Structure 1
Amino acid sequence: MSIEVRDCNGALLADGDNVSLIKDLKLKGSSTVLKRGTMIRGIRLTDSEDEIEGRTDKIKGLVLRTEFLKKA
């Protein structure tokens, strides 16, 4: 049983894909804001079809919802 993970436009996502943010996101527990257009490189899929793990240049170990991402 395979989980299909899709971005906000319905494009299929896979491990290692690059995605970008479509909305400014404030990180919980931090004063950091990820701006729209920020690239998240080399994503990893999780057990949930609504979430992925990724990292930016400054922040590692992000868990992001797919509704705020588009495939780059």
Structure 2
Amino acid sequence: EQPLAGVSGATIAGHIGVPVHYVPDFSAVAARVASVARPGDVVVTMGAGDVTLLGPEIIAALRANADRGSAGD
């Protein structure tokens, strides 16, 4: 899919009326999600191309955070 002139992830995030986090660095997305997600949250990733690769990375980061949290119990 070719990018549209004047449209970016930041542009779209700026027009969403609910809390949204735009992370321009693909490799930083999973860690960012894991740092802000709380039990019961719904995480939605949108984009074209490689965005489908984020699901497993996000789950792994969330599990790692949960494991670190339970280690202190």
- The TM-score, its normalising length taken from structure 1, stands at 0.24
Higher-Rg structure is 2
- The TM-score, its normalising length taken from structure 2, stands at 0.24
